[in-house]
Every structure is written in structure tokens, then in C-alpha cells.
Amino acid sequence: MDLAAAVAELKRSTDTFGRLIGEQAARIPDRPALKFEQETVTYGAYDAEVNRLAALLARQGVRTGTVVAILCQNSPRFLTALGAVAKLGAIGALLNTHLDGAGLTHVLHTSGATLGIADAHAVPALLRVTGTHPVRFFAESDEGTLPDGIVALADALPARADPPPAPEVRGADVFLYIYTSGTTGYPKPAIVRHIRFTLGGIGLAALLGLQPGETVYAPLPLYHGESLFVGFAPAFRSGGAFASRRAFSASAFLDDVRRHEAVAFVYVGELCRYLLRQPPTPHDRDHKLRVAAGAGLRADVWRAFQERFGIERIIEMYGATEGNVALQNLDGRVGSVGKPYAEGQVGLARYDHARGELARDAQGLCIRCVPDEPGELLGRIDHGGGTMEYDGYTDRAATERKIVRDVFAPGDAWFRSGDLLRCDADGYYYFVDRLGDTFRWKGENVATQEVADVLNGAPGVSESNVYGVGVPGQDGRAGMAAIVLQPGASLDATAFYAHAARHLPRYAMPAFLRLVPEMEVTGTLKQRKAALAEDGYDPARVGDPLLVRDDGVATYVPLTPETLAAIGAGRLRL
């Protein structure tokens, strides 16, 4: 059976997570399913707790298609809520536990939920937005008295419950709303169907080489698709254990993987860089890890991480929660996000940065990139029931805005990833930058991630975040970099300048530097740029040390009030 036929079969199949829970509990009831810090939950105990929560939700009117908000840190409670939703055929809206105030109110409204499950960590944030949203929560809480809209979960759960009647749920039905974790603006709920979770379990269990009883460790938020689909789904499908913790800790990482005897772990963002910052010990290879899988491992730390910790295999991936593109690096090509799993699934289209749109030829069609030319990654939308279907967001207008038509042939339709990638002559793809992050300076395009990759190799630098800032009287945006130094290091400004000049064209060299003690990141360890760009290089807004590039002496010098005034008056051109 070819891939398209297999996918079509799974769309019709009732092989969904809700059914799998009961099957695994009947088959391996005493085997560990979940490992959270010091707590272990067997498949049988997990199934029993899922049934209790499903009974409570059913009494509240939850049924097939009902949206239930889940606002929990990584914990058994998060995953029992997920299981209860699956068994009832409901839809779980997975909410970012870092949101508060207006941001939390916004996602609660856009979820479409009127009922939710929360843990004790979420209660203070919920108390601060009481009365601003329509969701009534059952929450784990030590509070003596809770306001209207929040009910103590312990008081509402039945002591035990039978499995709920199996609903008519198939792979093509909606399972989750996962909010895109953008670095600016409010997140939007993306539609995820049961088939995606099922395919993640089947395909990645084989890809990771998981054997029954083995453990996968994923320490990053479960409200993010990476931990769910690359960690939990294959662990549960293979009859293994899923291990995690409530919040990622670089210092506790090796202790966790040793205690849980993990053979695989899931990374995202800059996690591997943070692990490399930990002081080396003779026990760095004292573990059972043999494979790491995830997204966002930069080339500048890839080999160092693999060598120091003795990880046999790294599987770098690329995907979009709301989209239909998927790339996998199965053979360890350093720095690459891999290749598409299906021929013709993706395409790279030339992007006109000056006009802020895809370039078109005389016939009005997009122009395919040549090897190593950066372009926007597109995912082909297949309306014929194949593997390339695109669901987008619950907001249909937002979904339509991500579609481009008449791309490589009249009448075709493609999903816009919003990311710049390049593809080499061997067919391997490499991430270049987010379209919104790339800026123009001196008439040239500057890809922030490519510049950051260079700066990360400078003496004493541990991490850099590159962004553009406006300069009075000059077109475009000048480059600025927030720099985190290695522990105990100080910035050698002349050596930094020499490194940047050796590897970057002059227009891409940062005009300004900001030395920060740590990088501000999202809950999924993606660097935040918007606030840094807004602060700019104004000492009145920035308490961190600021430097400006001085080409006359080939170094970076402290940014003084006199220098700032000269820049503002146009006397100093960068």
C-alpha cells in the first residue's frame, strides 16, 4: 500500500487515541506509561483516571465535537485530560500556561470552549481573569473558596468510572486545537485531526527505533506539538513510557534521563545549546540515550552537542502546526532540516523582499528557486484526499490568508509557511529565517538567523539574537544583536569584529550590540525579537551594556550619549 492509500485508510479508521488507551490498558496494565519527576503511572492506572475524568466531563454535557480547554503544565493531569477528551470524541484546546491577563482571555474566547480542566499552577492566572471569558473550569486547587467559574476538581471527580461509550470518531475528525506559538501577537488555534496523532505514534515509534517498555523523555511543554507528537504519541503507541517534568531544567536534564532510563529525547528551539552551557563532567555520557529528535538544532552546536553527550543519532525535523509541510533529516546531515517525505510535497518560491511578496514571472506564476537560493517554503494543497490537505486555523479568514494560488501552475494552491529555506543540490533543505525577521539594509536582505549562526561562533559568545532597528535618516533597518556570553567570559570587541568581518558582508555585520545576561524566549524556547527591536539602542530604555560598530578602528565601542546624538542627527552614518 502506498503512502496516499495508507493515509486515506487511517482517515476512515477508528484507530484513534481514545481507543488505543483502552487497548493498551488491557494488554499491558502494569507497565509504566507516564513518568513525571518522582511519579510513575501505569497504563492501567492511566486508563482508570481517564475514565473518571471522562465521566465528569460527560455529566457536564461534553460529547463528540465539544471543545474542552486544557490549561495544565506538563503532568499526568494534562495527559489524563487529553485522554478523556479523546475517549469522548471531544476537541481539546491546548492552552499556553505562560499566558496571563488579556492574552489568556483572548485564547479562552477563541477556543470556543465553555468548559475546561486546569491544574493548581493555572489557578492564580484564572483568578485574575475571572468574569472576562465564558469557560467554567474544574481545577486542582488548594484554595478554600473558589469564585464562580472555577470548581475544585477533587470534589467533582467520581471515585471510579467505567469506560464511556465509544463514539463514532475516525482519523479525519478534529482532535485538538493547538495554538501557534508566535513571538508576536496573540496565538491562533490551529486544527489538528486524530490522524496526525496516530501517524505520529506509528511513524515516529519506528523512526526512533522504540522497543516496548522503552522511555522517551520530552521536557518541553505538552501544549506544543513537538512534545506531543514526537514524544508522547510514539511512546504510547509502542507500549513504552513517556517521561517529562513540569518545567524544563538544563541542570536536571541528565539526572532525569538517567532516572527514567530514557533511550530517546525530544528537543525544540535552543534546548541543546542550554545543555551545552552546563559545566562539563566526566558523567556527561553516563546515560542510555541513543537518539534525539526535534526541531531548531542549529549547526553551530550540532557536532559539539553530539560529541559531548555521545548521542548516536540526531533527527532534525521541520513542520508547521497549522500547515501541511513536513521535512525530516534521517541521515544526520549537519544543519539540515532534511527532505520531504513525499515527492512534490513542498516547493521553494523566490521572494521579492523589496516588494514584500512572492516574485512572479511574465505569466504571473511564481519562480522556483535554484539550488542554494533562499525562498519561501510552500506546501502543496491536495484537495483530492491525498497526504497534502491543509486545515489551517479555526478562523477561516486566517486560514485563507496562508494560501497562495496560481503558484507553479494555473489553478494550483499552496500553503505559505512564512519561512525562508534553501535547498542544496542534493535535495537537503536548510532553514534560513522567518520572513518577518529578515530585514533590508544598504539595499541588501539580511537573514537574522544566518547572521546569528555566524555570531555564535565568535570568541566568548554562547548565544545571539539578531534583529533590525530603525536609524534616523536612513532607509531600511540596521542590524543589532543581543549577545549572551559564555559563563565567565567577557566580550573581546576587537576579536568579535574580526570574526564578523571574516564571515559576513559589511551590510550584514551588526551595527549595534546589546550584552544581555540571558535570552528572553517563549515557552517553547524560541527567541523573542519584538521587544528587543522596540527597545532598540536607546540607553534610556536599555539597562544592558550597548556597543556600536566603529569601522575606523575595526572594533565595537561603548555607545555614548555623544555617539547616540550623532546617529540621531545624521552626523554618524552606519
Domain boundaries, the chain: 3-319, 344-433, 437-569
CB 481 within 8 A of CB 465: yes
Burial of 76 (0-12, 13-18, 19+ CB in 10 A): buried
The string of pLDDT tens digits covering residues 292-349 is 999 999 888 999 999 999 999 999 999 988 889 999 999 999 999 999 988 889 999 9
78 Cβ neighbours under 8 A, 6+ residues apart: 70, 72, 119, 222
The string of pLDDT tens digits covering residues 196-207 is 999 999 999 999
Q: What is the Cα–Cα distance from 314 to 357, expressed in whole angstroms?
A: 35
State the Cα torsion 323-329-333-337 to the nearest 10°: 10
The string of pLDDT tens digits covering residues 86-102 is 999 999 999 999 888 98
Instruction: Compute CA 538 distance to the chain's CA centroid, rounded to the nearest angstrom.
Output: 31
Handedness of CA 156, 220, 322, 22 (dihedral sign): negative
Confidence (pLDDT) at 387:
52
- Which residues, listed in sequence order, are joined to residue 444 by a DSSP beta bridge? 441
- The residue count of the chain comes to 574
CB 531 within 8 A of CB 274: no
What b/e readout covers 331-347, taking b as 16+ CB neighbours within 10 angstroms?
eebebbbbbbebeebbb
**Residue 212, CA distances (Å) to 197, 215, 235, 257 in order:** 19, 9, 9, 17
Flag whether pLDDT at 109 surpasses 50.
yes
150 Cβ neighbours under 8 A, 6+ residues apart: 118, 123, 126, 127, 130, 136, 137, 138, 139, 141
Determine the residue type at 560: T
3-state secondary structure of 349: strand
Q: Which CATH architecture has domain 3-319?
A: 3-Layer(aba) Sandwich (3.40)
CB atoms within 10 A of CB 553: 10
Instruction: Compute CA 418 distance to the chain's CA centroid, rounded to the nearest angstrom.
Output: 15
The string of pLDDT tens digits covering residues 32-65 is 999 999 999 999 999 999 999 999 999 999 999 9
Q: What is the Cα–Cα distance from 371 to 423, expressed in whole angstroms?
A: 6
pTM > 0.95? no
Flag whether pLDDT at 504 surpasses 90.
yes
Four-way CATH pick for 344-433: 3.40.50.1970, 3.40.50.300, 2.30.38.10, 3.10.560.10: 2.30.38.10
Four-way CATH pick for 437-569: 3.30.300.30, 3.40.50.360, 3.30.930.10, 3.30.1330.60: 3.30.300.30
Confidence (pLDDT) at 184:
46
Which of 156, 152, 123, 122 lies closest to 246 in space, CA to CA?
A: 122
